[in-house]
Amino acid sequence: MMSRRILLLRHAKSAWDEPGLDDFDRPLAPRGRRAAAVIGVYLRDEGLAPDLVLCSAARRARETWEIAAHELPRAPAVEHDAGLYMATADRLLKRLRKLPAAIGSVLVVGHEGGVDAVARRLVGDGAAPLRKRLSEKYPTAALAVVAVTLDDWAALAEKSGTITRFAAPKDLV
């Protein structure tokens, strides 16, 4: 059995100042751009750079990752996936279960209703304060880190993970 890590990042705060702009195409707000950089520094400083990034193809998710990745010494491989736009927890679990065995750490950049729900479904253990925060609110640009032990990603099961970190940009500045 191998120790693996799943990082779940909700996109940073998006802008709402362009009436009529399709939701998929909304950019980050200035506050969101700052928050994405803070999370990038956190990933770098805490040694959390993943092997692979699965990123929603929505503009705000792509911009969140691009800004965060700029803070890393080496950018990991990225898959921009339109299927991750507003993906449900079921869809995210299905995608995670298809990861190749060589991937030890994956970061998912997604949206409210998917990223937060899959984090709650995966976590079965961890420090009570972290579990409590996860159950209460998953703010924009928040990052949950879930440790799992398995040989094959196909075996990823609900409640099999241990939450090891939960950080929002406001915690880090």
In this predicted model, what pLDDT tens digit does every residue of 56-113 receive, in sequence order? 999 999 999 999 999 999 989 999 999 999 999 999 999 999 999 999 999 999 999 9
Separation between Cα atoms, residue 26 and residue 100, nearest integer Å: 32
At residue 18, the pLDDT reads: 81
Dump pLDDT digits (tens) for 8-62. Answer: 999 999 998 888 889 999 999 999 999 999 999 999 999 999 999 999 999 999 9
**pLDDT above 90: residue 139:** yes
Tell which wins on pLDDT, 5 or 173: 5
Q: Strand 123-126 relative to strand 77-81: parallel, antiparallel, unpaired?
A: unpaired
* Domains of the chain with CATH codes: 3-14+24-172 (3.40.50.1240)
pTM of the model: 0.97
Which is nearest to 113 in space by CA: 56, 48, 46? 56
Mean pLDDT of 143-158: 97
Give 165's pLDDT tier (boundaries 50, 70, 90).
Answer: very high
At residue 51, the pLDDT reads: 97
Give 173's pLDDT tier (boundaries 50, 70, 90).
Answer: confident
Give 160's pLDDT tier (boundaries 50, 70, 90).
Answer: very high
**DSSP per-residue codes, the chain:** --EEEEEEEEPPPBP--STT--GGG--B-HHHHHHHHHHHHHHHHTT---SEEEEESSHHHHHHHHHHHTTSSSPPEEEEEGGGTT--HHHHHHHHTTS-TT--EEEEEE-TTTHHHHHHHHEEEE-HHHHHHHHH---TT-EEEEEEE-S-GGG--TT-EEEEEEE-HHHH-
Separation between Cα atoms, residue 117 and residue 114, nearest integer Å: 5
At residue 1, the pLDDT reads: 83
